[in-house]
Structure formats: C-alpha cells, structure tokens
Amino acid sequence: MTHNDISLAMFIIQAREKIGLSSSLLAKRSNLTEEEILDIESGKELFLSSTVRQKLAKGLKINPSEIKSYEKNVEITFGSENIKEFEDIAKIKMMAGETEYLRCPVCGSEMNFKKIKRYDLEDNIVYDYKASCKKCPYQIT
Ligand SMILES: [Zn+2]
C-alpha cells in the first residue's frame, strides 16, 4: 500500500490494532484523551501538532516521522480553490512551527512566515501569524 491509498486515520487504526490496543488503552498509553484518539481515527484530524504526534508515536511504539508521512500534505493537496481551507491549516502549522511543507496555494512557491508578538486588551501576549508568497502577491494576514 502506498501512502496515497491510506489516510492518517486508517494508518493509526492499523498501527493500533497491530499491537492489540483498544482506542482507550492507546489514549492511556499515549497520555492523550480518548476523544483526541477518536478524532484522529475518525479522520477529523488530517494532521497533528508535534506534541500530539510524539505522544501518539510513543503509544503506538513507532517513529513520529512514520505518522507524519500520512498526514495531509498541504503542498500537494491544496489548489487555489481551497484557499480558505489552506489558510486554516497554514495557521495551525505556523503556530506549531511546522512550515517546512507549506507552499503558496496560488503559485506553489515558497513562502515567508512571520510571527508577530502583540498584547491584547488585557495585556496578555498574543501572537499573530502572517505569511506571504516569495513570488506572487498572495498573503495570509
Ligand atoms: Zn505565490
């Protein structure tokens, strides 16, 4: 089976069943909630934060990079018709500091990423994430 044939959800279920764990047992071993596991296994999560990925890999006794290879590849999957979806994913990826696979959804070029620190009304530090294409006018603000 190639990576394109099976989803992250399928991969996690198969890996879990291979070592004979129920999803609640996997949740316990991974130090994640059962709900988080169910979200991943139902295909709700197409990619994971690095923390969740590492915990899950530990629970499944596999390498985190194996899981990562089944996560939705933004670079390949997102065309310009999916810009809204791309931006939602891009923001989460930027927050996780995982921008290495993000490419401009308009022209496919590399992008510049910026993390901007500001204070909200209650003086808490918050971060804004912005991205702009190195080649075309596309940007996420
Ligand atoms: Zn571009």
Could you list which residues have their CB under 5 Å from ion ligand 1? 104, 106-107, 109, 133, 135-136, 138
What is the average pLDDT across 49-72? 90
Domain regions of the chain by residue span = 8-68, 74-140
Express as a percent the part of the chain with pLDDT over 90: 52
DSSP annotation of 103: B
Instruction: Tell me the residue ranges of DSSP E strands in the chain.
Output: 111-119, 125-133, 139-140
pLDDT digits (tens, 9 = 90+) for 84-116: 778 888 988 899 888 888 888 888 889 999 999
99 neighbors 92 (Cβ within 8 angstroms): no
Distance 68 CA to ligand 1 centre (A): 25
Distance 25 CA to ligand 1 centre (A): 44
What span, in angstroms and rounded, lies between the C-alpha atoms of 52 and 69? 15
- What is the average pLDDT score of the chain? 86
Asked whether the predicted pLDDT for residue 5 surpasses 60, the reply is no
pTM of the predicted structure, to 2 decimals: 0.54
Residue given tokens 């996780």 in the structure block: 96
Q: What confidence category does residue 27 fall into, taking pLDDT thresholds of 50, 70 and 90?
A: very high
The class level of CATH for 8-68 reads mainly alpha
Determine the pLDDT at residue 48. Answer: 85
- Provide the 10 A C-beta neighbour count for residue 47: 21
